[in-house]
Amino acid sequence: MSVDLAAPPTPRRGGPASLQLVRRIVATPSGAFGFTVAVLLVVVAVFAPVLAPHDYTALDIEHRLEGPSSTYWLGTDNLGRDLLSRLMMGVRIALQIAVPAVVLGVLVGLLLGLAAGYLGGKVDTAIVVILDAIQSFPSVVLALAVLALLGSSSWAIVLVLAVAFVPSFGRVTRTSVQAVQALPYVDAERNLGAGTLRIIGRHVLPNVVPPLIVLMAMNLPSAIGIESGLAFLGLGVQPPTPDWGVILSEGFARIRESPWPVLWTCGVLAVSTLGFTFLGERLRDVLDVRTTEVRS
């Protein structure tokens, strides 16, 4: 490997590429907000048992449904459990369901999108029709129908969410594959005898990954929203697990006695969905991706 001495070293502030990426993400206020929220949520999810000020299952009936105090910073729920600790454990549960769901959605969507875009013809038509069918009813309704049939184990919830996200990932992949296929240099390489795997690995995937990353960041909040929503309806994660939806539904039942459980949970949900969405928006600018399909 020869080093081109004539070329001046590109000005790089602060080392590795990942750090540079982070710098660019936090360069705007909403990007910084999104990044902070995402990091904070991951940290809380990992260290929740250590960080939580109380045992999230400990009952303190004397202090039930209280507002914020010096002992219970955010107040207590209907059984006198510490809301802050429960919400912190809730981060872990939300991510434990939302992240696998989105990852599974990406993998299946990527495969279907590759197949549709690369093989074309009847396979393409069939896959597009299936994706259309999945999108033809609201994901919440789909989830409701499936969970009513299956019971709400956490893998069922993950599966249902993943199915709901497959179409958006599949479409984005399919479109990129088609765009890349049409490029002259890809055509040239194919004529030179490059195999399918080489074309996919060298040309298709690098073009598909950035939009998929953006879409993942944008689908994560919907996954969290739907997951908590299902738990709120009693069809997702079940009590006594401190899922946000469970806390919300328990709080909602006693909303006239104390607004705090509902208020804090709504706040946490709003901040986390906002955070991931802003992060996604910023990533789209930083990675220079044009998403045609943002909502799923």
Partner 1 sequence: MLIYLARRVGMAVLVLLIVLVFLASLVHILPGDPVSLMLGPRADPELIALARQEMDLDSSVPAQVWHFLANAVGGDLGQDFLTKRPVSELIGAALPNTLVLALTSLLLAVVAAIPLAVVSAARQGSWLDRILGTLSVGIVSIPSYVIGMVLLLLATVWLGWLPAIGTGSFADPLDYLAHLVLPALSLALVWAGYLARLLRSALLEVLGQDYIRAARAYGIAEWRIYYQLAMRNAIPSVVALIGVALGDLMGSAIFIEVIFTRNGLGTLLYNAATQRDHPTMRGGVVVIAVLFVLANLLADLVNRAINPRLREVSSR
Beta carbon of residue 97, minimum distance to partner 1 (angstroms, whole number) = 15
Binding site for partner 1 (CB under 8 A): 30, 129-130, 132-133, 136-142, 144-151, 156, 221-222, 225-226, 228-229, 232-235, 248, 252, 255-256, 259, 262-263, 266, 269-270, 273-274, 276-278, 281, 295
Beta carbon of residue 157, minimum distance to partner 1 (angstroms, whole number) = 13
Integer Cα distance of 51 and 244 in angstroms: 18
Quickly tell me which residue has 């020869």 as its tokens: 2
Residue nearer to partner 1 on the CB measure, 274 or 287: 274
Beta carbon of residue 109, minimum distance to partner 1 (angstroms, whole number) = 17
Three-state DSSP class for residue 273 = helix
Distances in whole angstroms, Cα of residue 183 to Cα of each of 124, 180, 187: 19, 5, 6
Beta carbon of residue 261, minimum distance to partner 1 (angstroms, whole number) = 11
Residue nearer to partner 1 on the CB measure, 117 or 236: 236
The H-or-E segment that residue 251 falls in is helix 244-253
Integer Cα distance of 77 and 83 in angstroms: 6
Beta carbon of residue 25, minimum distance to partner 1 (angstroms, whole number) = 16
Q: For residue 193, what is the DSSP state?
A: T
Beta carbon of residue 263, minimum distance to partner 1 (angstroms, whole number) = 7
CB atoms within 10 A of CB 170: 28
Q: How many CA atoms lie within 13 A of 207 on its CB side?
A: 20
Residue nearer to partner 1 on the CB measure, 28 or 241: 28
Query: Which residues 6+ apart lie within 8 Å of 113 measured at CB?
Result: 127, 169, 170, 171, 172, 173, 174, 176, 177, 208
Beta carbon of residue 182, minimum distance to partner 1 (angstroms, whole number) = 20
Residue nearer to partner 1 on the CB measure, 43 or 148: 148
Residue nearer to partner 1 on the CB measure, 208 or 230: 230
Cα-Cα end-to-end distance for the chain: 46
SS (H, E, C) 52-110: CCCCCCCCCHHHCCCCCCCCCCCCECCCCCEHHHHHHHHHHHHHHHHHHHHHHHHHHHH
Residue nearer to partner 1 on the CB measure, 34 or 109: 34
Residue nearer to partner 1 on the CB measure, 58 or 126: 126
Query: Which residues 6+ apart lie within 8 Å of 107 measured at CB?
Result: none
